[in-house]
Amino acid sequence: MSKGNESAISPRREEDFPEWYQQVVRAAEMAENSEVRGCMVIRPWGYALWERMQGALDGMFKATGHKNAYFPLFIPLGHLQKEAEHVEGFAKECAVVTHHRLELKDGKLVPAGELTEPLVVRPTSETIIGSTYAKWVKSYRDLPILLNQWANVVRWELRPRLFLRTAEFLWQEGHTAHETEVEAIDETVKMLGVYETFARDWLAIPVIRGEKTASERFPGAVRTYCIEAMVQDRKAIQAGTSHFLGQNFAKASGIKFLSRNNTEELAWTTSWGVSTRLIGTLLMAHGDDDGAVLPPRIAGTQVLIIPITPKEETRAAVLAKCEELAAALSSASYAGEPLRIEIDSRDIGGGSKTWEWIKKGVPVRIEIGPRDLESGSAAVARRDKGPKEKEFLPADSLAVRLPEILTEIQQNLLNRALAFRKEHTVKIDTKEEFYAYFTPKNPDKPEIHGGFALTHWNGSAEVEAKIKEELKVTIRCIPEADGSDFIDEPGICPFTGEPSPRRIIFGKAY
């Protein structure tokens, strides 16, 4: 609990950011480690965020012409082998099913019934969906196919971290097939724009759009586009990707069609996705030393009413007033939806209750006690402000004021994240300055350092690999041209002395 200079979360962000993050996830009751190594249990407060993300994105996908479908969890090994670069990229992360039953031997269950062909538990679905599309597509009239699926995937992580990297996680994956290259590229860019809009307008997270280098592309893709977010330890998180797959997967899967010119052609395909990693990104971007801080648009509960009942004789009256207020607020709306309101009427101390919700990050807390019954007011606290800051407002004004307050919180969180990214994004023009920027002063102690470096690069894969090996710094993206000298100016690569057409973004990442 925050008292004086203390905080509800220990350690603080600047003391040990990775451990701070784990403690925030637990204190906010978002998720916990399961008995299966590398997997997590997503608790209701965390899953409410995912439901909100699903609902918002699903509406945006359907508004752009996509429909939902579902494809198998198991992928025949032979499907992956058809696309060599793809299988190589995922080989070390694959979980493989080799048997289909268990038998009791010497008091122990052992696998029996070996499969004719091993099945890979879905790491991603390009190959199984491609083989299905090959059955559906016969003519150019069958195109485009614009599908998305909400699913779980398995990628065997060696160093799991809740939400950020787990062996099993939830996501959506869009898979489309097109008649022409131009249509497929347009689709890839369009869906990246959907992700950018969602991150900015719903999560209050500013992101940088750009293209990945060849070494960072999705296995088998021709181009990979991404949105990159900066979190509060100044590291990058790849918050979403959209891949132009060219005809690579169509060739491997046999997605062919009779063209308008009566010739056989290969389809052009795309894939794009975001995952529960967005929850981790959200917590790292906005959380503070008292716990999670949730943007109102994505929070499962936006307004939490806390009855303050120090005496049993006033408890019934206070609870009745809280119910009355909740009913009055039910007609109010924010961002086109009714307010999401909850009353915490548990018979526990008001202080403990308040701090529980602070750590969970609920955007607005309203406290009503016996004195408020007499004054007709309520104490309103915003999560984007200090835990002790309260504003006393007339209860009958809250239906008007709360949507305004939620709008202010949403914008404030975005502004803060933008200011933070700007503060920790620097132009670097020498190798010495670059290495100093990304080297901690005390490697033996957790230390927040670095940020985004806007630096020239001559396109050398060898330079890229050396920087990654020596500093664990990667090219986050080649940002889209923005018409400014800040990014688009030509210059000299500080690592080779050769000409460079523009600056790109380097950073350490999760």
| CA-CA-CA-CA dihedral for 211, 216, 221, 227, to nearest 10 | -40
Strands 95-105 and 108-121: antiparallel
- Measured CA to CA, the distance from residue 203 to residue 192 in angstroms comes to 15
pLDDT tens string for the chain (510 positions)?
A: 444 457 899 999 999 999 999 999 999 999 999 999 899 999 999 999 999 999 999 999 999 999 999 999 999 999 988 877 777 878 889 999 999 999 999 999 999 999 999 999 999 999 999 999 999 999 999 999 999 999 999 999 888 999 999 999 999 999 999 999 999 999 999 999 999 999 999 999 999 999 999 999 999 999 999 999 999 999 999 999 999 999 999 999 999 999 999 999 999 999 999 999 999 999 999 999 999 999 999 999 999 999 999 888 999 999 999 999 999 999 999 999 999 999 999 988 878 899 999 999 999 999 999 999 889 999 999 999 999 999 999 999 999 999 999 999 999 999 999 999 999 999 999 999 999 999 998 877 778 999 999 999 999 999 999 999 999 999 999 999 766 556 788 999 999 999 999 999 999 999
DSSP for 155-205 reads ---SS-BTTTB-SEEEEEEEEEEESSHHHHHHHHHHHHHHHHHHHHHTS--
What three-state secondary structure class fits 336? coil
Q: pTM value?
A: 0.95
Second CATH level (architecture) for the domain 425-507: 2-Layer Sandwich (3.30)
- Measured CA to CA, the distance from residue 251 to residue 268 in angstroms comes to 9
- Measured CA to CA, the distance from residue 432 to residue 261 in angstroms comes to 58
Which residue reads 């607005």 in tokens? 364
- Measured CA to CA, the distance from residue 342 to residue 346 in angstroms comes to 12
- DSSP state letter for 288: B
- Measured CA to CA, the distance from residue 146 to residue 157 in angstroms comes to 30
Please, which residues have CB within 8 angstroms of residue 299's CB and are 6 or more apart in sequence?
Answer: 48, 49, 52, 340, 361, 362, 363
* Residues shown for the chain: 510
- Do domains 17-286 and 303-421 share one topology? The answer is no
| CA-CA-CA-CA dihedral for 206, 212, 216, 218, to nearest 10 | 90
Please, which residues have CB within 8 angstroms of residue 201's CB and are 6 or more apart in sequence?
Answer: 297
Q: How does 462-472 read in b/e, with b if 16+ C-beta sit within 10 Å?
A: ebbeebeeebe
- Helical H runs in 17-71? 17-27, 44-63
Closest of 310, 305, 299 to residue 395, by C-alpha = 305
CA-to-CA dists, residue 347 to 73, 81, 324, angstroms:
45, 59, 19
**Cis? peptide before 144, omega within 30° of 0:** yes
CA-to-CA dists, residue 130 to 4, 92, 156, 252, 401, angstroms:
59, 22, 23, 8, 51
Domain range annotation of the chain: 17-286, 303-421, 425-507
Return the CATH number of 17-286, one of 3.30.930.10, 3.40.50.2300, 3.40.50.300, 3.40.50.10470. Answer: 3.30.930.10
Looking at CATH, the fold of the domain delimited by 303-421 is given as: Rossmann fold (3.40.50)
Q: What's the pLDDT at 88?
A: 81
Q: What's the pLDDT at 484?
A: 57
The answer to whether the beta carbons of residues 272 and 245 sit under 8 Å apart is no
